[in-house]
Chains A and B, each alone.
Chain A
Amino acid sequence: MFPVQVLATIMVPFAAAFGFFHSPTAGPNLLPILTCFILIPNLAAFLIMASPEKWARWISLFSASLELGVAFRVFTLYQTTAAGFQLVEQVPWLNNFGIQYLLGVDGMSTLMVFLVACVYFAGSLISWSISMRVKEYFVLFSLLVGGVAGAYTSLDLFFFFLFYEFAVLPMYLLVGIWGSGRKEYAAMKLTLMLLAGSAFMLVGFLAMYFTSNVHTFDIRVLGDLSQTGFNTDFQNFWFPLLFLGFGVIAAVFPFHTWSPDGYGSAPTAASMLHAGVLKSLGGYSIIRVALPALPLGARHWLPLLVFLTIVNILYAAIVALKQKDFKYVIAYSSVSHCGAILFGICTLQVAGLNGAVIQTLSHGIVAAMTFALVGTVYGKAHTRELAKLGGLGAAMPVLGGLFVAAAMANVGLPGLSGFVGEFLIFLGSYRSGFHGGFDVFQVLFPTAILAIVLTAIYYLRLVQIVFYGPVKDPHIKEEAKDGTFIEILPIAFLLAVSLAVGLYPKPFVDLSNAAIAPLIDHIGGFK
């Protein structure tokens, strides 16, 4: 009976949302689709606050399914042939400071909208096992999604910033209250580091507003300024600050230290959302704001900043090899993958940036899946110490199998989403380096590929220690059971998405390319 109820709660709102917006004229005209996308999780938060505790999970699942329907519709509504920003909603907000309520998606944000909805959906299901302060948990969880949903669809810097920081705040409480280990330390570190990064963003945005002669926070207009829309000194001063400011949330070295502690301590669904969605905001914002507005600064600084991203990729991979805690391995793996995303951005090639976007999507899905698996295993084995785990594969064959699939997706096995992104990134860095441009990429290209080998090593080590070998702890053997329906469902869902991206990447790459190709035209790339 229970699985039927769950499936009904998923299918009905999904179909309703998709169907409502199906007609290209009626639905979006009645209700602005992107505003709905932001409002659904936020309204769900208020609804959960006002209703009895036992309903919290169901409301959350209902709204996540609704959100998934809306996201699928956005995905199908976006026309890659037309490119540019579509589904734009514009309302003047504060006339004295040129602030508007401005939403819209291009190919890249369409992918991100899709990603947000997928992880929200999976996170809602994974959170079923929360038993302490349930109502507050789901309120904060929904608000977190509401924040990121806004950040990915806002085209006005005021609202972009508002949603960006708004997403960080629930994270503090989610980690602080429902976390494990040194949760209060981790929560504080995470919040302060992310907000310190955004302090530079805010001043940078204001400086852009007053320095450009158009006086606007409209990202589209700032991105369409000529290359010299801001003078060279301004671009060279602000680009690295913005890159690092955005980079903090993408865990760029040396500002990555919040990330392992944060993920190590966060409750499962919060790690999923943070690694899958919030972290992706870093790379997304660089492509969305910093590159188009400050192209000269980008070309000046990226050949230097790329070294940070290489350190990210390699250093995090090496550290992951030596971790003793299951979840910390995944956390460092996520840092390493985000390094690859930023590396792709640094190449300033169409292929490299497309790779970065696809890798953002893939990393979002795969990291969420991996964290979901770790959380589920932890819930059954009651320990994350690798020294105590072992031989779980016999007790939980389904979870073990899924974990192997997740590990392969992380490593970048062809057929799964990780391959597409990494392949494009390396293609981009190859082109960047071998077209007579910047010598740095010739050196870095093979170095980055080394990371794939390291990733394979630490993931296989993990699979071997946790799921194979002898059972080290007799309690685990007696008590550990395989995943239940409600635990398997979200993981299987994410795996299906990863497979879809890996087997038929064309629609996804087309979407990404619709945003990236004009951007590289605008910047000029390294030639």
Chain B
Amino acid sequence: MIQVSAFLPELWLVGTAIVLLLLDLIRGKQQSKDLLYWIAGLGTLGALISLACLNGCCAASACPASGPAQAFAGFLKTDPVALFFKGVILLATLITLVMTFRYFKSHGTYYQAEFLAILLFSASGASALTSAQEIVTLYISLETLTISSYLLASFMKKDKGSNEAGMKYLLLGAFSSALLLLGFSYLYGLTGTTVIVDLAKSLGIQTLSPMLALAVILVIGGLAFKISLAPFHMWTPDVYEGAPTPVTAFLSVVSKTAGFAAFVRLFWVGLSAQAVLPVWVGLFAVLAAMSIILGNLEALAQHNIKRLMGYSSIAQAGYISTGFLAGGQLGLTAVLFYVFVYLFANLGVFLAIVIVSSKTGSDEIADYAGMWKRSPLIGIVLLVGLLSLAGVPPFAGFSGKWYLFGAAVHMGYTWLALVGMVFSVVSLYYYLQVVRQALVADAKDSSPIEMNLLEKAVLLVCVIFTVTLGFWPTPIMNVAQAAATALF
């Protein structure tokens, strides 16, 4: 029996995307596109609400079948971990829509319906990925996400940067997908199954063979590209800089969250056998340290804020990997919690970037001078968001890092925690450069920056979440822990 509820959020997203395309076809050319944004927003909201229903269903065991909803022979299963990741992805999509509206007001394009539809397709891929219990399903979801992302990155046809971003992303992305597929095929050959739970069973009775090690390395290489872990991070700064800013924001949160969801499912469920565990955990520790070091060091020299955020996101992926490789309940709780707070901090900053650049037409950090005068709210968002990314209390990034590095120390990776903390201080230097421009420097041009009510509300929500979760992370932490417990 197929339980539709197992892919209800994806149905909402895909359905809305199709409605958008059709509606745009029917409506005349001259009509305003604003309606489309409302529909896209409502569709995403519908997906979020369906998620809440699913969550209630899991909690109250009111489901017809016992346990989480599943479909397609259990290939899709919305367990608590999947629900948590889906929540993050859908919230990020909603905020991206707000950004998109603003972005296309200043960088007008005729193809807004197509953009929105592709965005929703992409989100549906990410969403499906989190509940995939089987590697082919996982791969297909991942490609739905990535191929849509190639299109989104190169969406500004007349902009050279956007074209370059799309092309670079496509070539490197296709290469990494090939690596991943190769790794999957080896895994299938070694175990004779594509179901992740059965992988674990089959690998449990195997010893480490060169082929197995190769398969694991290929899978890590393929997936690490998606979350831009060093040394698979080369594409990140260029794509982040060139792509339309809402797409950059979308990639930095949704693509990463989905990538970590795939990692958690595949490695902590499928490859947790004693034979392979030390191989990939050790490898991950090296990748995490490299990302933290390279990402933070390279960010120091940036003067374009989108590029800076690109390098920053590489370092952030390194921090999250620290908790991921520690694993266990504490590690996974830390990963889930951090992804959640990263969402608000990062997207708050990106929304501010979109708003500022729609007014000034520039993404240079120097042009943020005197933001405290032009728009105090944006100044506060930059302060709170960036310092949360740096992990400074009382912002949410701090409690997140406390958990991530706590999990690492717990598993004996004290050196990695030290690397993470020391380079968090390095990161503070470049985050503070932006804060300095925004709050300390005097304005060259002090004309105020206006924004609409929705944008103000979203920025405020980001600030409130980021501040509150810093000293009172309890509610989200409890949800994250419940989800983590369900997996282990």
Assess whether B418 is interfacial by the CB under 8 Å rule.
yes
Residues of the B chain whose Cβ atoms lie less than 8 Å from the Cβ of A199? 418, 421-422, 424-425
User: Shortest CB–CB separation between residue B209 and chain A, in angstroms?
Assistant: 34
With a 10 A CB-CB cut-off, give which of B394, B474, B481 has the most chain A CB atoms. Answer: B394
Assess whether A162 is interfacial by the CB under 8 Å rule.
yes
Contacts A93-B474, A202-B421, A206-B406; A173 near B394 (Cβ below 8 A): no
CA distance A139 to B41 in the complex (A): 37
Q: Are A96 and B477 in contact (CB under 8 A)?
A: yes
User: Which residue of B has the minimal Cβ distance to A163?
Assistant: B393
User: Shortest CB–CB separation between residue A235 and chain B, in angstroms?
Assistant: 15
Q: Are A195 and B428 in contact (CB under 8 A)?
A: yes
Q: Are A200 and B398 in contact (CB under 8 A)?
A: no
Residues of the B chain whose Cβ atoms lie less than 8 Å from the Cβ of A172? 432
Assess whether A210 is interfacial by the CB under 8 Å rule.
yes
CA distance A163 to B428 in the complex (A): 18
Q: Are A200 and B393 in contact (CB under 8 A)?
A: no
Kindly identify, within residues 138 to 165 of chain A, every residue whose CB is under 8 Å from any CB belonging to chain B. Answer: 158-159, 161-165
Q: Are B387 and A200 in contact (CB under 8 A)?
A: no
Assess whether B111 is interfacial by the CB under 8 Å rule.
no
Kindly identify, within residues 69 to 106 of chain A, every residue whose CB is under 8 Å from any CB belonging to chain B. Answer: 93-94, 96-97
Q: Are A177 and B439 in contact (CB under 8 A)?
A: yes
Q: Are B329 and A166 in contact (CB under 8 A)?
A: no
Q: Which stretch of B140-148, B158-166, B354-362, B409-417 is in the interface?
A: B409-417
Assess whether A526 is interfacial by the CB under 8 Å rule.
no
Residues of the A chain whose Cβ atoms lie less than 8 Å from the Cβ of B424? 195, 199
Contact residue among A97, A188, A191, A195 (Cβ-Cβ distance under 8 Å from B330): A97
Q: A97-B403, A188-B429, A209-B409 are in contact. List 8 more A-B contacts (CB 8 A).
A: A162-B398, A164-B393, A165-B398, A177-B439, A187-B440, A192-B425, A199-B422, A202-B421
Residues of the B chain whose Cβ atoms lie less than 8 Å from the Cβ of A195? 392, 424-425, 428
Q: Are A210 and B394 in contact (CB under 8 A)?
A: no
CA distance A145 to B387 in the complex (A): 20
Q: Are B432 and A191 in contact (CB under 8 A)?
A: yes
Interface 0/1 of A323-346, CB less than 8 Å to B? 000000000000000000000000
Assess whether B405 is interfacial by the CB under 8 Å rule.
yes
Spell out B's residues near A (CB within 8 Å).
Answer: 329-330, 333, 372, 387, 392-394, 398, 402-403, 405-406, 409-410, 414, 417-418, 421-422, 424-425, 428-429, 432, 436, 439-440, 470-474, 477, 481
Contact residue among B403, B440, B471 (Cβ-Cβ distance under 8 Å from A184): B440
Residues of the B chain whose Cβ atoms lie less than 8 Å from the Cβ of A161? 393, 402
User: Shortest CB–CB separation between residue A362 and chain B, in angstroms?
Assistant: 29
CA distance A207 to B387 in the complex (A): 25
Contact residue among B392, B432, B436, B481 (Cβ-Cβ distance under 8 Å from A165): B392
With a 10 A CB-CB cut-off, give which of A96, A162, A165, A191 has the most chain B CB atoms. Answer: A96
Residues of the B chain whose Cβ atoms lie less than 8 Å from the Cβ of A202? 402, 405, 421
Q: Are B477 and A94 in contact (CB under 8 A)?
A: yes
Assess whether A196 is interfacial by the CB under 8 Å rule.
yes
A-B contact pairs, 15 of them (CB 8 A): A94-B473, A96-B329, A136-B372, A159-B471, A162-B471, A177-B439, A184-B440, A191-B428, A200-B421, A206-B406, A206-B417, A207-B409, A209-B406, A210-B409, A210-B410
Contact residue among B421, B436, B440 (Cβ-Cβ distance under 8 Å from A203): B421
Q: Are A158 and B402 in contact (CB under 8 A)?
A: yes
Q: Are B405 and A177 in contact (CB under 8 A)?
A: no
CA distance A187 to B372 in the complex (A): 18
Assess whether A130 is interfacial by the CB under 8 Å rule.
no
Assess whether A176 is interfacial by the CB under 8 Å rule.
yes
Q: Are B440 and A177 in contact (CB under 8 A)?
A: yes
Q: Which 8 A-B pairs have the closest CB atoms?
A: A199-B421, A162-B393, A206-B409, A176-B440, A196-B425, A165-B393, A166-B393, A203-B417
Assess whether A15 is interfacial by the CB under 8 Å rule.
no
Q: Are A96 and B330 in contact (CB under 8 A)?
A: yes
CA distance A191 to B390 in the complex (A): 13
CA distance A16 to B417 in the complex (A): 47
Interface residues on A, range: 20 to 34
Contact residue among A159, A165, A203 (Cβ-Cβ distance under 8 Å from B405): A203
Residues of the A chain whose Cβ atoms lie less than 8 Å from the Cβ of B417? 203, 206
Assess whether A169 is interfacial by the CB under 8 Å rule.
yes
Q: Are A203 and B418 in contact (CB under 8 A)?
A: yes
Residues of the B chain whose Cβ atoms lie less than 8 Å from the Cβ of A159? 471
CA distance A195 to B428 in the complex (A): 9
Q: Are B425 and A96 in contact (CB under 8 A)?
A: no
User: Shortest CB–CB separation between residue A54 and chain B, in angstroms?
Assistant: 18
Residues of the B chain whose Cβ atoms lie less than 8 Å from the Cβ of A163? 393
Residues of the B chain whose Cβ atoms lie less than 8 Å from the Cβ of A176? 436, 439-440
User: Shortest CB–CB separation between residue A305 and chain B, in angstroms?
Assistant: 20
User: Which residue of A has the minimal Cβ distance to B421?
Assistant: A199
Residues of the B chain whose Cβ atoms lie less than 8 Å from the Cβ of A97? 330, 402-403, 406
User: Shortest CB–CB separation between residue B424 and chain A, in angstroms?
Assistant: 7
Contacts A158-B402, A199-B425, A210-B409; A173 near B439 (Cβ below 8 A): yes
CA distance A496 to B403 in the complex (A): 46
Contacts A94-B474, A96-B330, A161-B393; A184 near B410 (Cβ below 8 A): no
User: Which residue of A has the minimal Cβ distance to B480?
Assistant: A96
CA distance A162 to B428 in the complex (A): 16
CA distance A205 to B398 in the complex (A): 14
Contact residue among A169, A177, A207 (Cβ-Cβ distance under 8 Å from B414): A207
CA distance A453 to B417 in the complex (A): 45
CA distance A203 to B391 in the complex (A): 14
Residues of the B chain whose Cβ atoms lie less than 8 Å from the Cβ of A168? 392
User: Shortest CB–CB separation between residue A222 and chain B, in angstroms?
Assistant: 15
CA distance A176 to B437 in the complex (A): 11
Residues of the B chain whose Cβ atoms lie less than 8 Å from the Cβ of A184? 436, 440
CA distance A172 to B434 in the complex (A): 13
CA distance A298 to B297 in the complex (A): 35
Interface 0/1 of A170-182, CB less than 8 Å to B? 0011001100000
User: Shortest CB–CB separation between residue A127 and chain B, in angstroms?
Assistant: 18
Residues of the A chain whose Cβ atoms lie less than 8 Å from the Cβ of B473? 94
Residues of the B chain whose Cβ atoms lie less than 8 Å from the Cβ of A196? 422, 425
CA distance A161 to B477 in the complex (A): 19
User: Which residue of A has the minimal Cβ distance to B329?
Assistant: A96
User: Which residue of A has the minimal Cβ distance to B439?
Assistant: A173
Kindly identify, within residues 18 to 45 of chain A, every residue whose CB is under 8 Å from any CB belonging to chain B. Answer: none
User: Shortest CB–CB separation between residue A392 and chain B, in angstroms?
Assistant: 32
Q: Are A96 and B481 in contact (CB under 8 A)?
A: yes
CA distance A169 to B329 in the complex (A): 32
Q: Are B428 and A192 in contact (CB under 8 A)?
A: yes
CA distance A203 to B414 in the complex (A): 7
CA distance A192 to B432 in the complex (A): 10
Residues of the A chain whose Cβ atoms lie less than 8 Å from the Cβ of B429? 188, 192
Residues of the A chain whose Cβ atoms lie less than 8 Å from the Cβ of B392? 165, 168-169, 195
Residues of the B chain whose Cβ atoms lie less than 8 Å from the Cβ of A158? 402
CA distance A175 to B403 in the complex (A): 31
Residues of the B chain whose Cβ atoms lie less than 8 Å from the Cβ of A191? 428, 432
User: Shortest CB–CB separation between residue A236 and chain B, in angstroms?
Assistant: 15
User: Shortest CB–CB separation between residue B319 and chain A, in angstroms?
Assistant: 13
Residues of the A chain whose Cβ atoms lie less than 8 Å from the Cβ of B474? 93-94
CA distance A164 to B471 in the complex (A): 13
User: Which residue of A has the minimal Cβ distance to B372?
Assistant: A136
Q: Are A162 and B394 in contact (CB under 8 A)?
A: yes
User: Which residue of B has the minimal Cβ distance to A175?
Assistant: B440
CA distance A203 to B418 in the complex (A): 6
User: Which residue of B has the minimal Cβ distance to A136?
Assistant: B372
CA distance A162 to B394 in the complex (A): 6
Q: Are B402 and A96 in contact (CB under 8 A)?
A: no
User: Shortest CB–CB separation between residue B190 and chain A, in angstroms?
Assistant: 36
